[in-house]
Homo-oligomer: A and B are copies of this chain.
Amino acid sequence: MSEKPSNLPVNSDRLWGTILETAAFGATPKGGVRRLTLSQEDRKVRDWFKAACEAAGCTVTVDALGNMFALRPGRDPSRAPIGLGSHLDTQPTGGKFDGILGTLAALEVVRTLNDAGIETEAPLCVANWTNEEGSRFAPAMMGSAAFVGDFTVENILGRKDAEGVTVKEALEAIGYVGAAPVGSQPFEAFVELHIEQGPILEAENKTIGVVEHGQGIVWYDGHITGFESHAGSTPMPLRRDALATFSQIVLAVEAIARKHGPDAVGTVGEVTIANPSRNVIPGEVNFTCEFRSPHAEILKALEADFAAAVTEIAAGRKGVTVEIEQVWRKDPTHFDPKVIGAIREAAEGLGYSNRPMVSGAGHDAFNLATRMPVAMIFVSCKDGLSHNELEDATQADCTAGANVLLHTVLSLAGVANAA
């Protein structure tokens, strides 16, 4: 067993080329990608990915939900493989990097090892998870959630898109109903590289984010009932204005998140008025609201403060009622110290500036973390912008992330022999 080749880089231009090449599957006019899960565009990128992995010497298996696994054998077949990868589906008007970078960088790691003639101790397994985005079928991160047993396969296969097409029908239509049972692929650990989807690395001019936590999250649906009345003839003291009540709640959400900052965020993303009219006082308002924090105790404090604020606001609005339903809750995720350490050491060893980070967004890695040691690598994206055709990242940052992924995987798997 030789020394680990400590500065081996991935082939930056080859990695960048695959990002640009696959962006053609569902390319949008503004330079983004529309590649909804299990669509014909998704089929094309899956076919491309399968052929590329096989050309790189991997054996590709597909499970019953279309999750794809490309296995590169290691010297020690008794060890479960080190997993690496992400997803290839996109938002309806998504970008070229979200998920895609992590999957194609994993392929590039295999290609780089092949070029260098390096065999690892543990096998490697490159993964492409089905429906991370959740835009066509709910829930998001569907493939990895079913993989770890959060949903049954039957439950997921019956989910329908807006046109009434089921996941089962969509999988059959693109030929990605695999023979492998969902959850049967073993992993010793898993590493996911992803763009940050936030502005912190860019703002601090850091290259690598070492993701230690995933935020806990709580989602609410809100319903406010006041009374519709004439905007001209109803005096201010007699109004039961659902929209003014809503506005207090929005500002309370903002204030509560700031109070518990910096490790807390709170957002109202949706609002609709029933029967809106320019000259009618809104009588009924529906909205959604969420809070996130990487710390369990802060998440609980956010929930308590929100409940208290809603009660106080409703009490101050005579004749207005506010109903709040918590529709989803997930405790914070803590990634594995050993995998986190391997990522940090890889970044340091390669000379990349780095910082510990919390992931604000959800990722397949969070689902996997309930069953195996996991951590994530972030690289900067322009203006923190994601879920947008204008999403952008530099070749240098993508390459840096792939290099950290390579050396993290080498550290976790062990090097059997180097050329």
Contacts and interface: CB of A to CB of B under 8 A. Distances in A.
| Consensus secondary structure, chain A interface | mixed
Contact of A230 (B237, B243, B244, B384): B384
A360 B217 contact: no
A108 interface: no
Contacts of A205: none
Contacts of A257: 236
A192 interface: no
B273 A231 contact: no
A350 to B, nearest CB: 24
A281 interface: yes
Nearest to A265: B236
A267 B231 contact: yes
Interface stretch (A45-53, A68-76, A166-174, A195-203): A195-203
A236 B217 contact: no
Interface string A251-280: 100100110011011111111010011111
A288 interface: yes
Nearest to A276: B270
A66 B384 CA distance: 59
Interface stretch (A1-9, A12-20, A385-393, A394-402): A385-393
A233 interface: yes
B282 A229 contact: no
Nearest to A238: B199
Nearest to A280: B269
Contacts of A235: 198-200, 261-262, 265
Given A261-B235, A269-B278, A276-B270, A228 B197 contact: no
A1 to B, nearest CB: 40
Given A277-B270, A279-B290, A251 B247 contact: yes
13 contacts: A197-B233, A228-B388, A230-B386, A233-B361, A236-B257, A236-B262, A244-B250, A244-B254, A244-B268, A251-B251, A269-B273, A269-B276, A270-B276
Given A238-B384, A280-B387, 16 more contacts: A198-B235, A199-B229, A217-B232, A219-B278, A231-B292, A232-B359, A234-B384, A235-B262, A236-B254, A244-B250, A247-B248, A247-B250, A248-B251, A269-B273, A269-B280, A270-B273
Interchain residue pairs A-B with the least CB separation, the first 4: A233-B360, A198-B233, A232-B360, A247-B247
